[in-house]
């Protein structure tokens, strides 16, 4: 092998490894900065500022998607209720959320059909037939599964927030009840405190407060609250409150025991994540850190060998 070409290859490999390491570190730093900014804004109670032009464009797009969803609306009330429950668990509480969701699915299918039609000349040219079919298949799968995956991703994110904030909510509720407040007044007070750290959980507590003030039965209101959250802890809390009300047991002691159980479960989840961390680190270790370490160890020796080869030649 030509020594000059060998040096060029080494230079390119070193530059690629350095770029890979700097890029990975930059992405991790940017992610941490964004997460910190969102956390500080949430703790400060500030919302996201949207420019007027962008807000108008987003509202116009939503109106178009909503009209499309209303035209293709499902007539089965049970199916509409199921979709609305999924959207509420994902954090979309608007009455028009079902129409927007159906419109998004229809718009995705229309866009996928148009993109597939654009690949027809490419497929008929005889050059990229299999590739065009594969691209059309990707468009079809994205159109069919894309909206549902967005809803599922949002729902998983909401569930993580609910699971993280549920023990804190119970601690505040126990403190409120032991201070002499009733359960309904304690829920109203806790919803104000939870809104800054866990805004979505605080919104569900405010919905619960409004239902209780409207005269809904307590056990029905708590059951609806658990259905909106969609987590087992909320269902267990609703069942526990119903049983405590029926049996006449002390509500403060019952909530205290339940809060201790929730804190123990949160600690177990944290320990489980800590135990799974070494396995999760294997992929970035192999893809990013190990090649850079290998390059640092081997490239100097390879450079000296290439220099000796050039000098000897």
- How many angstroms from the chain centroid is the CA of residue 84? 19
Question: How far, in Å, CA of 215 to CA of 221, rounded?
Answer: 9
Burial 76-88 (b: 16+ CB within 10 A, else e): eeeeeeebbebbb
Angle formed at CA 197 by CA 191 and CA 203, multiple of 5 degrees: 40
**Within 10 A of 143 (CB to CB), how many other CB atoms are there?**
20
For residue range 291-301, list pLDDT tens digits in order. Answer: 778 777 887 88
Burial 109-133 (b: 16+ CB within 10 A, else e): beebeebbeebeebbeeeeeeeebe
Structure confidence at residue 20 (pLDDT): 63
For residue range 93-140, list pLDDT tens digits in order. Answer: 777 777 777 777 777 777 777 777 777 666 666 665 677 677 777 777
0.85 cut: is pTM over it? Answer: no
Tell me which residue has tokens 């929730």: 262
For residue range 278-290, list pLDDT tens digits in order. Answer: 888 888 788 877 7
Output 48 or 249, whichever has higher pLDDT. Answer: 249
């Amino acid at each position: 092998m030509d020594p000059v070409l060998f040096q060029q290859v080494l230079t390119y490999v070193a530059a690629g490894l350095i770029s890979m390491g700097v890029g990975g570190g930059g992405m991790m730093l940017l992610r941490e900065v964004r997460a910190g900014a969102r956390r500080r804004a949430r703790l400060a109670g500030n919302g996201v500022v949207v420019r007027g032009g962008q807000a108008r464009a987003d509202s116009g797009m939503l109106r178009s998607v909503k009209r499309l969803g209303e035209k293709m609306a499902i007539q089965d009330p049970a199916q509409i209720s199921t979709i609305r429950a999924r959207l509420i668990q994902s954090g979309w509480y608007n009455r028009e959320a079902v129409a927007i969701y159906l419109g998004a699915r229809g718009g995705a299918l229309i866009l996928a059909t148009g993109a597939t039609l654009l690949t027809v000349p490419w497929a008929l040219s005889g050059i990229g037939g299999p590739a065009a079919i594969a691209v059309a298949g990707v468009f079809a799968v994205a159109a069919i599964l894309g909206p549902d995956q967005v809803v599922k991703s949002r729902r998983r994110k909401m569930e993580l927030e609910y699971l993280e904030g549920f023990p804190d909510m119970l601690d505040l509720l126990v403190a409120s009840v032991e201070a002499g407040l009733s359960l309904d007044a304690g829920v109203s007070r806790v919803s104000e405190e939870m809104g800054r750290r866990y805004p979505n959980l605080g919104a569900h507590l405010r919905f619960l407060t409004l239902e209780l003030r409207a005269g809904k039965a307590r056990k029905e209101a708590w059951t609806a609250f658990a259905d909106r959250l969609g987590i087992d802890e909320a269902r267990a809390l609703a069942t526990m409150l119903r049983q405590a009300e029926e049996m006449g047991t002390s509500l403060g002691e019952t909530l205290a025991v339940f809060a201790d159980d929730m804190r123990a479960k949160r600690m177990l989840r944290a320990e489980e994540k800590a135990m799974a961390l070494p396995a999760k680190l294997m992929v970035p270790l192999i893809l990013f850190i190990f090649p850079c370490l290998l390059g640092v160890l081997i490239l100097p020796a390879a450079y000296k060998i290439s220099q000796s080869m050039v000098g000897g030649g």
